[in-house]
Amino acid sequence: MMTGILYQIEKERQQLHKLQSLFGMRDECVLIQSMRLDELINQYYREKGLEQS
Are residues 12 and 37 in contact, defined by beta-carbon separation less than 8 angstroms? yes
- Rounded to 10 deg, the angle between the 28-47 and 4-23 helix axes is 160
User: 1 pLDDT exceeds 90?
Assistant: no
User: 51 pLDDT exceeds 70?
Assistant: no
Rounded average pLDDT over 16-36 = 98
- Banded pLDDT at 48 (limits 50, 70, 90): confident
- Banded pLDDT at 20 (limits 50, 70, 90): very high
Rounded average pLDDT over 23-43 = 97
